[in-house]
């Protein structure tokens, strides 16, 4: 732990506006987090994603100048720069499919792994003063660590000092055990040093599931209940908090006909007094995250609460599309903390830091 301050705060002495561009924006978890960091005002210039529902959600809630619903491989960055001008900060939660610990960890060799190069291209063309990149914790181990080293070197070669860290969001007061690699980049010609924000201010935070899911209005958007089959309801009656379909004492008639590890999240109940396990965006029966008390899966609004989206944030699309958008998002309140640290750094203000976990 330590105190960090900017060596040169002249960068924004006369301005309090950060012009933001986003690649792989999804539903807007990162964009919303940037807006919530009110130390400096954020203007959403443009955002892009290939998912139509996610783009509609982003546009509805964050009102950027333009949302481009397009495959990143077809984007014309030069045209985008000419149309909207320079940006101060670029963010990108580049696809994690090939880096996830849940998958086969193909890393850069996978279909999605090489897409990070388009983020590097964007950095080279837009030359933002700062960037924030996000990916799953499995990124650091893909290809025996070679993928992570390659990606970091690409950002360095693009002209940035980089500050990677493995953030455990539950340590920052988020009601979910979600671990993500986040890389903050600052252009080499800017005399600033970023410090990883400390977890100490959040030690006494109440980030329990019970608190996060309390007082949801009945008419809250995206709060439709899942219709559970009688056998699922009966199975859940035997599953206690923290147990799943393989660790609970189920009658033979209710056991699953599949092989599963004891750490499986299939039909796993949340624990009321702890942060939730990781909310995901896809998966079949039994993977929808189950209430700590009620015999049912969570609603999308409840999932959104665990991801720290406010109830006023409305997701567009079908119920399954909304589930995917929520599960793939970055918790806005976690990103807010990182943006606040960056903004304090820019303004030369002191803030508590800690050693990086990478």
Considering just the CA atoms, what is the radius of gyration of the chain in Å?
Answer: 21
DSSP letters spanning 230-284:
HHHHHHHTTPPTT--TTTS---GGGS-SS---TT--TTPBPPTTSPBPPP-S--S
- Smallest CA-to-CA distance from 260 within 252, 272, 268 is with 268
Query: Is beta strand 2-4 parallel, antiparallel or unpaired with respect to 66-69?
Result: unpaired
Using CA atoms, how far apart are residues 208 and 258, in angstroms rounded to an integer? 31
Which member of 25, 55, 89, 96 is catalytic?
A: 96
- Where does 158-237 have alpha helices with state H? 209-212, 230-236
User: What's the distance, Cα to Cα, between the start and end of the chain in Å?
Assistant: 15
3-state helix, strand, coil in the chain (%, to 5): 35, 20, 50
Sheet containing 351-354, strands listed edge to edge, beginning at the edge strand earlier in sequence? 2-4, 351-354, 196-197
- Where does the chain have alpha helices with state H? 29-36, 52-62, 77-84, 116-126, 146-157, 209-212, 230-236, 300-306, 319-328, 332-347
Structure tokens at 82: 């000419």
Establish whether 55 is a catalytic residue: no
Structure tokens at 345: 């750094």
- Smallest CA-to-CA distance from 312 within 26, 93, 20, 62 is with 62
Active site residues: 96
């Amino acid at each position: 732990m330590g105190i960090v301050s900017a060596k040169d705060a002249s960068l924004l002495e006369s301005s309090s506006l950060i012009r933001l561009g986003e690649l792989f924006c999804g539903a807007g978890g990162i964009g919303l987090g940037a807006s919530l960091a009110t130390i400096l005002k954020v203007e959403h210039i443009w955002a892009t994603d290939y998912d139509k529902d996610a783009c509609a959600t982003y546009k509805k809630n964050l009102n950027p100048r333009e949302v481009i619903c397009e495959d990143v491989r077809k984007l014309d960055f030069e045209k985008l720069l000419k149309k909207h001008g320079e940006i101060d900060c670029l963010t990108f939660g580049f696809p994690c499919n090939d880096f996830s610990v849940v998958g086969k960890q193909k890393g850069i060799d996978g279909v999605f792994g090489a897409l990070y190069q388009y983020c590097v291209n964007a950095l080279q063309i837009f030359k933002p003063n700062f960037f924030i990149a996000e990916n799953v914790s499995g990124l650091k181990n893909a290809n025996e660590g070679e993928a992570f080293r390659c990606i970091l070197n690409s950002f360095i070669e693009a002209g940035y000092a980089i500050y990677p860290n493995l953030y455990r969001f539950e340590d920052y007061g988020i009601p979910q055990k979600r671990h993500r690699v986040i890389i903050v980049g600052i252009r080499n010609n800017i005399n600033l040093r970023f410090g990883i924000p400390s977890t100490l201010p959040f030690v006494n935070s109440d980030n329990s599931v019970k608190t996060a899911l309390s007082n949801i209005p009945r008419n809250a958007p995206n709060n439709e209940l899942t219709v559970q089959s009688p056998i699922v309801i009966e199975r859940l009656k035997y599953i206690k908090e923290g147990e799943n379909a393989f660790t609970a004492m189920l009658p033979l008639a209710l056991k699953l006909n599949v092989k599963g590890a004891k750490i499986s999240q299939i039909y796993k109940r949340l624990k009321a007094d702890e942060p939730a396990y990781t909310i995901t965006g896809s998966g079949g029966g039994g993977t929808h995250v189950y209430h700590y008390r009620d015999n049912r899966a969570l609603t999308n609004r409840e999932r959104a609460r665990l991801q720290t989206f406010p109830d006023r944030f409305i997701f567009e699309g079908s119920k399954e599309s909304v589930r995917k958008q929520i599960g793939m998002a970055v918790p806005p309140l976690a990103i807010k903390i990182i943006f606040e640290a960056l903004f304090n750094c820019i303004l030369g203000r002191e803030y508590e830091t800690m050693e990086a976990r990478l």
